[in-house]
Amino acid sequence: MEVSLDYLITTVSKYNLKGLDKIRKAYDFAALAHKNQYRESGEPYITHPLAVSILLARINADVDTICAGLLHDVIEDTPTTKEDIEANFGSTVATLVMGVTNLTRASISNKASLDNANIRKLMLGVNKDVRIIIIKLADRLHNMMTLQYKKDPEKQKKKSVETLGIYVPIAESLGLYDVKTELEDKCFMFLMPEKYHKYSDERKKYDELTSGLAEEVAIKINQVLLDNDIPNTVKYRLKNVYGIFKSLVNKGSIEDIHDLLAFKIILDDIDACYLSLRHVHEEYKPIPKYFKDYIAVPKPNHYQAIHTTVLGPESHILQMQMKTAQMEKVAKYGITDFWHGDDSIGAKEMQNALKQEYPIYHHIIEANKMAGSNQEFVDLIKGEVFAEKVQVFTMDGAQVDDLVKGSTVIDFAYRIHSEIGDKMAAVLVNGVNVNFDYTLKDGDQVRIITDESAAGPTEEWLNIAKTARAKKKIREYLNRQKRNGQSLTRSP
């Protein structure tokens, strides 16, 4: 990646001609502040914030975010104050910079406690402005891109573990798939270098082997749809290296991965997506178990497309993704798609969408309320908010997709409402009566039957429940019962 002020200005100019002077001023300010500071690579320190800003410009970040990217380390690493930034660049830039500035060792002496406090501070930044986390993602991505210059292998591994556990899930939750996959591959390279190179080589060989086939299939799909009066554009991509590794755990060869080679079929509207599915299936035999309709049921991060896996030429397994141009934009830019417009409007729309439509916002706020310490907060984030989820449905078809894998019907009940959990008398899953320790599976439809005279939660429920929310509500119920029992005992 070219790292220069000219390249940054050129990149920003492609989508926004306003505020370029402010960006140049921020660069000059940061360059002076970081004068005589160097990275472990030996490069002038200014190359890092400059690279961060270029990464932000690649996703069409607004001017204030670009400036904050350039200035994101000046408070932490130089005598510059928040007041200095506010006086020169305004309150918004100052708030963004403060949001990504780490707490100091002076405030928290223990390194592990400091790390947890900084993660909590960063995550809660979404309440003020989601751009804080987006800047931090760009910062972490560039740090991972240059992690080879950190000479201590243990520090490399620690940074990679933290990135996989925190920053990769954040990127996925916000729909920033390009950032997610690049972070994954960098982490994989430092954590398991031998396996990384093994699967990287296999991916390269598969790419060389199938490049002609992929081009042939893309041309054929395009022509078949055009013959049926369906305008389209067809692109294709290979799964990233870490994704290949995860898919092959306890499984067969690389050729068996159902979404290894995926074709993106970009169409004019939703009707064309469903109509194209028919023609794709007429041309190539589908493998039903891999079908997903993310248009009817979008992912929590707003990703939409119809996914179907088919047997292509020479029995190659191929994934087909039917989506509109807007869906493809959201798949590329995630929540930052709101930046494709006026600066002030885009930032406001992004923040409003986060609070109203992205589950990660409410999960972070709820985790903060439940956690008594920074360590508990980080444990909740890793163990529940960012853990693999099970997707189930209520009886009226409402989707519940934020329960961690392994959750039981007790967790489901308390996820809907605490009173439903407290008064749960029986449970039907897919029309069949089940015990309260039933573990939910993808696609289950759950009906909770309540009764005012139900016995209510017991101590045993604490061992059955998996989620912190359910356990907290059960403990609150048991404590209320204990207090009520004591009151009755003391009554004359």
Tell me the pLDDT of the chain (492 aa) as tens digits: 899 999 999 999 999 888 999 999 999 999 999 999 999 999 999 999 999 999 999 999 999 999 999 999 999 999 999 999 999 999 999 999 999 998 776 666 678 888 899 999 999 999 999 999 999 999 999 999 999 999 899 999 999 999 999 999 999 999 999 999 999 999 999 999 999 999 999 999 999 999 999 999 999 999 999 999 999 999 999 999 999 999 997 677 898 999 999 999 999 999 999 999 999 999 999 999 999 999 998 998 999 999 999 999 999 999 999 999 999 999 999 999 998 766 778 999 999 999 999 999 999 999 999 998 999 999 999 999 999 899 899 998 888 988 999 999 999 999 999 999 999 999 999 999 999 999 999 999 999 999 999 999 999 999 999 999 999 999 999 999 888 875 444 333
For 304, the 3-state DSSP assignment is coil
CA dist., res. 72 & res. 63, Å (int): 14
Q: By the 8 A CB rule, do 365 and 428 touch? A: no
Q: Within 108-249, where are the H helices?
A: 111-124, 131-145, 153-162, 168-173, 177-191, 193-227, 241-247
Describe the strand order of the beta sheet including 424-429 as a list of residue ranges.
399-404, 389-394, 445-450, 424-429, 432-434
* Catalytic member of 28, 40, 64, 77: 77
The model's pTM is 0.89
Residue 408 is given by DSSP the state B
Q: Within 394-449, where are the H helices?
A: 409-416, 418-422
| Whether 376 is catalytic | no
Q: C-alpha distances in angstroms, 269 versus 231, 245, 297, 324, 328?
A: 10, 35, 17, 6, 12
| Number of Cβ atoms within 10 Å of the Cβ of 340 | 13
- Strands 424-429, 399-404: pairing is unpaired
| DSSP calls for 315-380 | G-EEEEEEEEHHHHHHHHHGGGGGGSS-HHHHHHHHHHHHHHH-HHHHHHHHHHHH-SSHHHHHHH
Comparing CA positions, the residue from 377, 400, 398, 376 lying closest to residue 390 is 400
Burial 11-22 (b: 16+ CB within 10 A, else e): bbeeebeebeeb
Burial 157-183 (b: 16+ CB within 10 A, else e): eebbebbbebbbbbbbbbbbbbbbbbb
Which residue segments constitute the domains of the chain, with CATH numbers given? Answer: 5-101+131-173 (1.10.3210.10), 194-334 (3.30.460.10), 389-490 (3.10.20.30)
* Catalytic member of 40, 43, 76, 419: 76
| Whether 178 is catalytic | no
Q: Which two tokens stand for residue 368?
A: 């903060």
